[in-house]
């Protein structure tokens, strides 16, 4: 299956995290902060994220949305070969295509099994039941492309712009970087982005909303953000109020915002530029 050509404008980036252990609290998700970091280093932003447990019907529905979105999506987790790993099968169902052993994946998995046997000082037995079972990790939807795994050679896979990596960060993160650098370099830093904000003391968001709406109305393309905090170690109760967007257009919007805040008589703290 050949992925559709990239659109002329940067497409959105999404993230799917699969696993009961995340939703039960047994493990804390580390993928979303890392995805934000990897994208930001390339001038990109994460637009959305979804968490889903190990229920196959929910995974299938989530992946259907991912494939239909037209976005670049990373799916982390559930591509192993244990009974609670369903992502590979669900990806096939979401696409309406069969899953099958990818020949290059098979070669890599066999190579890994030989490496392990050599490290353990035992003979490699390709027909041993557990080794045959391990080949399931290379069963992907028909037409999938491989994502190399520098940690243990067991690959992930891509179909279109949806990319499937393991749940283990030590494997997933370099695989995500490889996908970004190999397939989406043309999108890097295409859309300049900056934020300017000011710490606002002694006011409520409801009081500031008309001003925020006016700034967005008067400056198309600029977004106003409001981040309240009740127990900040330095600023205490405050609102981090600012504008974000193309650096070429946020300065007039920020001036209007600050002028409006002063007219309201609120107490202003430090200004922040990101």
Same domain, 162 and 124: yes
Same domain, 209 and 253: yes
The encoded tokens of residue 21 equal 């252990």
Q: Is the pLDDT of residue 191 over 90?
A: no
Nearest to 151 by CA among 132, 165, 134: 165
How far is residue 198's CA from residue 210's CA, in Å, rounded to a whole number? 17
Same domain, 234 and 156: no
Same domain, 198 and 167: no
**What is the residue-averaged pLDDT of the chain?**
94
Say what the pLDDT of residue 231 is. 87
How far is residue 274's CA from residue 227's CA, in Å, rounded to a whole number? 15
Say what the pLDDT of residue 4 is. 47
Nearest to 15 by CA among 214, 86, 38, 233: 38
Q: Which domain holds residue 240?
A: 194-273
Rounded average pLDDT over 114-132: 95
Side-chain half-sphere exposure of 190, counting CA atoms within 13 A: 13
| DSSP 8-state secondary structure symbol assigned to residue 93 | H
| CB 47, CB 94: distance < 8 Å | no
Q: How far apart are the first and last CA of the chain?
A: 41
pLDDT (tens digit per residue) in 150-163: 999 999 999 999 99
| CB 160, CB 67: distance < 8 Å | yes
pLDDT bin (cut points 50, 70, 90) of residue 1 is very low
- The pTM assigned to this predicted structure is 0.85
| DSSP 8-state secondary structure symbol assigned to residue 152 | T
Rounded average pLDDT over 12-26: 96
Least confident segment among 8-12, 21-25, 200-204 = 8-12
Same domain, 103 and 235: no
Residue 86's SS3 state is coil
């Amino acid at each position: 299956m050949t992925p559709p050509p990239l659109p002329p404008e940067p497409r959105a980036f999404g993230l799917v995290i699969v696993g009961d252990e995340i939703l039960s609290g047994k493990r804390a998700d580390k993928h979303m902060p890392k995805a934000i970091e990897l994208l930001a280093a390339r001038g990109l932003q994460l637009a959305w994220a979804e968490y889903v447990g190990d229920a196959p019907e929910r995974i299938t529905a989530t992946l259907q949305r991912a494939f239909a979105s037209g976005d670049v999506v990373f799916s982390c987790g559930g591509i192993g070969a244990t009974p609670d790993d369903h992502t590979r099968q669900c990806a096939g169902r979401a696409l309406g295509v069969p899953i099958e052993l990818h020949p290059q994946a098979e070669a890599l998995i066999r190579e890994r099994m030989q490496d392990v046997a050599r490290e353990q000082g035992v003979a490699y037995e390709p027909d041993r039941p557990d080794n045959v079972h391990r080949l399931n990790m290379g069963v992907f939807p028909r037409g999938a492309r491989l994502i190399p795994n520098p940690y243990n050679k067991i690959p992930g896979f891509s179909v279109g712009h949806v990319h499937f990596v393991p749940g283990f960060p030590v494997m997933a993160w370099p695989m995500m970087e490889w996908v970004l650098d190999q397939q989406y370099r043309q999108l890097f830093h295409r859309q300049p982005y900056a934020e300017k904000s000011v710490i606002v003391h002694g006011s409520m968001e409801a009081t500031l909303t008309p001003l925020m709406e006016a700034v967005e109305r008067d400056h198309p393309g600029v977004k106003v953000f409001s981040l309240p905090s009740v127990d900040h170690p330095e600023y205490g109760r405050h609102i981090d109020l600012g504008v974000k967007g193309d650096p070429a257009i946020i300065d007039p919007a920020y001036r209007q915002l600050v002028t409006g805040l002063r007219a309201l008589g609120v107490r202003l703290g430090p200004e922040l530029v990101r």
